[in-house]
Chain A
Amino acid sequence: MKRISAVGATLTILMLWGCQEIDGECWLVSEDGPGAGVGGGPIVPGSGGYGDVPPAPQSTGDSPPGCGDVQGFSSSLFKFKTTQADDGVGFGWQVAEPTLKFADGRQDPTQYWSCTLNVGMPLRTEKLGKISAEWAAETSSEVATSASSNVMHSKSSWTVAAFCKAFKDEMNRLFKIGHEGLGARVELVSSGQ
């Protein structure tokens, strides 16, 4: 995999430059790798705040991972808890309130911010049956990863409030079109830098 320099890169490449940051390192995206797809956005996944990220790069190979290797937000960020039991009538409700971190390396200096969301979905639906906390977390992390990429790349720069609002809207959109009948809802709790 050939690494690129941000210097002299095209706008397209710059848009992909914001990479997963692990332990203070930011691996540059591969020019010819699969980084242009979902998950290649300026995402800073981890298990919580910056201080919670693993102490070493999450790569088993010899070379640093390109953004194309990034799997996006970890499902461990979405710790679903039941707030309303499934009584057989109402289908119950479960929520997770992750704080998701973002970095936009297209800006100089790199911009960092976070969006705290409330992601909710039923414990069961007529169409899909039982919705486990594990499935809810996996699905939410996939949706958040896609939403992050879609939103981040749709503008050259973002204000924090506008990004978090657009990110929340995009997650709701992806849940609606990709998980019909699930009834998941995403609410923006706060945004911060």
Chain B
Amino acid sequence: MKHSIAELIDIVYSYFPRGLRGDEPHYRQTPEYLRRMEARIPASTRFGDWCAMLARLRARFPQGLREIGVQNGSPFLASPGAATLDRCFTGALWLPPRDSRESHHELELLVSFVVPYFVIYSSCVVPLARSFGSRDAEPRISFHLTPDEVPFVGAITEEVVATFPGYEPMPPEVGTVIVPEVIGGGNLYGESTIYGCLFSDKW
């Protein structure tokens, strides 16, 4: 890791005002928010590189997987002002379900555009033991990859490093550290993590 946790938290504070909620009147005039929006400008200039990387990723895998597809989760980064979401490019490689319980299985990829790190994790949809209203299944994510996922993670990592030189994976023991005093990633105070602040509002 190029940065310590303390340094990463300082970077978070440069993009998220401390002690201020996103719906407070002056939030969008704070230097931190404006800095976050400005970071989207250089990111959008790399949108073509991102799409090309996803295309290469798609081409690497057998036809059966190609039918399932590689998904671009950041079409809004084609231009800086299309959305305010995220501090990263997001994508997913859909894989076959591993058993009859899984209705969906994918590897999700996040590549930050505010720090030189990426994260790859497993995501699947499994049924709940007991349904509640329309809630009968839920997505689950895991940083512990199963043996069948490892080769795909290797391929994704190769493409990311080739496209974004100098980037490293950010491990979960760093990314899941709570950042005090800020609201990032659509969370509440005391819930915002380094991942949520420096990567995606998904978390």
Give residues in A with beta carbon < 8 Å to B: 37-38, 83-84, 87, 89-93, 95, 116, 118, 120, 122, 125-127, 146, 149-150, 153-154, 161-162, 165, 168-170, 172-174, 176-177, 180-181, 183, 185, 187-192
Q: What 0/1 pattern do residues 162 to 203 of B give for CB contact below 8 A with A? A: 000000000000000000000000111000000000000110
The residue of chain A having its C-beta at the shortest distance from the C-beta of B91 within the complex is A183
Q: What 0/1 pattern do residues 80 to 92 of B give for CB contact below 8 A with A? A: 0111110000000
Cβ contact of A146, chosen from B134, B186, B188, cutoff 8 A: B134
Task: Decide: A38 near B76, CB < 8 A? Known: A165-B186, A177-B125.
Answer: no
Instruction: Report Cα–Cα, A169/B134, bound state, in Å.
Output: 15
Instruction: Report Cα–Cα, A190/B186, bound state, in Å.
Output: 10
Whether A150 lies near B51 (C-beta < 8 A) is no
Can you list 9 residue pairs at the A/B interface with Cβ under 8 Å? A83-B79, A84-B75, A95-B83, A118-B84, A126-B69, A126-B71, A185-B73, A188-B22, A189-B22
Whether A176 lies near B139 (C-beta < 8 A) is yes
Q: Which 3 A-B pairs have the closest CB atoms?
A: A190-B23, A84-B82, A90-B78
The residue of chain B having its C-beta at the shortest distance from the C-beta of A116 within the complex is B23
Quote the shortest CB–CB distance from B103 to chain A (angstroms).
7
B138 within 8 A of A: yes
The residue of chain A having its C-beta at the shortest distance from the C-beta of B104 within the complex is A180
